[in-house]
């Protein structure tokens, strides 16, 4: 079914994004997998092509396109290459950017955003803690007042881009007596004394993303590195979760669609019992169902993107797109592995890697169970 939300500018941008992926990402996937990270050269090239500053005003080095569909297009093209790469770039240009642009002071924007857009700085967001998971209000990392700033102590885990981030937006508790209303955001910079990275985490999937633990021990942060309003960090995070979740939905369905397309070509060629595997009635019906489900989900996500672009996507509707797209993605990729037979379980096949990579999407950006809880509450249940 033809998608109708894009115009000629979006199509031209997609061609540029695909060219970048084909030139700078695809040939180097084995390197990224081996090193468990995306090297700086790929980031610098993305910055040079203007992909990292889509939400950043021109005076700070971005393009300020003011149209979320461009974010969507870039995410889709990168997701076709790897769900892992899409998560790394997405955290930077789609999740972190609004924090800096919306909450940063003029001095902070001048200091950080030009290199953020060029790829010289890579950003991460430090919310999740070892004991917290989706419960952002239960943070244990603390920031205590000191002369001219704050002293930060605590740790974060499962941090995408954590292995190489130059800027980390860290949520810390500044007033324990206020609960969720006593959290503040800070920007921790590479090289600060007391900032340490743990090992690259050994994940089931998304091998090429540099996911790490982060540690803060008596780390002094000047007042100049407070991001947003004091004690309003939880509200700042909640206000920006809708974009994170619609962005996750965009990547989820693009990833599933690409692997399903590749699987359809595979079952056309693969022979068994004298005929193509795809011609067996069960497989034919299964694929018909998967294609329909993917297209229905794509239409739903596209509608969410348009709503977000028009500033009318609610937190609840964003939660719906996030959990449903993750559910469909995993259902589709599990079927794709089955359709490949034994080869689907081999790491050399993209479908096997994609299957592993997708599993986390039902957990991160708020688990699917949390998404359903939000939806249920909205229904008065």
- Residues noted as catalytic: 244
Cα–Cα distance measured from residue 329 to residue 260, given in angstroms and rounded to the nearest whole number:
10
CB < 8 Å & 24+ apart, contacts of 58-67: 60/101, 60/109, 60/110, 60/113, 60/114, 60/117, 61/113, 61/114, 61/115, 61/116, 61/117, 61/118, 62/113, 62/117, 67/309
Q: Mapped to the 3 state alphabet, what secondary structure does 87-110 carry?
A: HHHHHHHHHHHHHHHHHCCHHHHH
Cα–Cα distance measured from residue 151 to residue 166, given in angstroms and rounded to the nearest whole number:
19
- Do 83 and 33 form a contact (C-beta atoms < 8 A)? no
Left if phi > 0, otherwise alpha if psi is -120 to 50, otherwise beta: which for 161? Answer: left
- Do 152 and 141 form a contact (C-beta atoms < 8 A)? yes
C-alpha distance from residue 8 to each of 4, 205, 250 (Å): 11, 36, 20
Dig out the tokens for 372 from the structure: 């359903």
Between the CA atoms of 251, 254, 257 and 258, what dihedral angle is there, to the nearest 10 degrees?
A: -100
Distance of CA 198 to the CA centre of its chain: 21
């Amino acid at each position: 079914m033809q998608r109708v939300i894009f115009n000629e500018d979006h199509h031209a941008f997609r061609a540029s994004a695909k060219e970048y992926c084909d030139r700078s990402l695809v040939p180097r996937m084995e390197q990224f997998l081996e090193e468990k990270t995306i090297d700086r050269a790929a980031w610098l090239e993305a910055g040079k092509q203007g992909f990292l500053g889509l939400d950043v005003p021109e005076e700070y080095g971005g393009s300020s396109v003011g149209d979320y569909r461009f974010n969507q297009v870039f995410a889709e093209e990168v997701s076709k290459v790897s769900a892992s790469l899409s998560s790394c770039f997405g955290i930077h240009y789609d999740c972190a950017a609004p924090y800096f642009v919306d909450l940063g002071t003029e001095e902070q924007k001048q200091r950080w955003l030009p290199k953020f857009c060029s790829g010289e700085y890579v950003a991460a967001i430090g919310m999740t803690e070892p004991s917290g998971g989706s419960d952002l209000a239960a943070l244990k990392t603390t920031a205590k007042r000191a002369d001219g700033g704050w002293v930060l102590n605590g740790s974060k885990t499962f941090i995408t881009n954590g292995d190489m981030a130059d800027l980390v937006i860290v949520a810390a508790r500044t007033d324990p007596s206020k609960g969720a209303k006593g959290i503040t955001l800070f920007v921790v910079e590479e090289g600060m004394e007391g900032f340490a990275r743990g090992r690259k985490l050994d994940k089931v999937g998304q091998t090429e993303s540099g996911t790490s633990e982060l540690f803060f021990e008596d780390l002094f942060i000047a007042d100049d590195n407070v991001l947003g309003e004091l004690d309003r960090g939880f509200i700042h995070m909640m206000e920006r979760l809708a974009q994170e979740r619609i962005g996750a939905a965009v990547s989820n369905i693009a990833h599933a669609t690409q692997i399903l397309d590749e699987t359809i070509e595979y079952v056309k060629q693969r022979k068994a019992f004298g005929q193509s595997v795809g011609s067996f009635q069960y497989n034919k019906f299964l694929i018909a169902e998967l294609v329909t489900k993917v297209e229905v989900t794509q239409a739903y996500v596209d509608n969410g993107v348009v709503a977000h672009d028009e500033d009318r996507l609610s937190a609840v509707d964003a939660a719906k797109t996030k959990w449903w797209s993750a559910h469909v993605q995993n259902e589709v990729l599990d079927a794709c592995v089955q359709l490949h037979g034994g080869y689907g379980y081999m790491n050399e096949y993209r479908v096997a890697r994609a299957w592993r990579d997708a599993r986390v999407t039902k957990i991160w950006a708020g688990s699917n169970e949390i998404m359903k809880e939000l939806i249920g509450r909205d229904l008065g249940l």
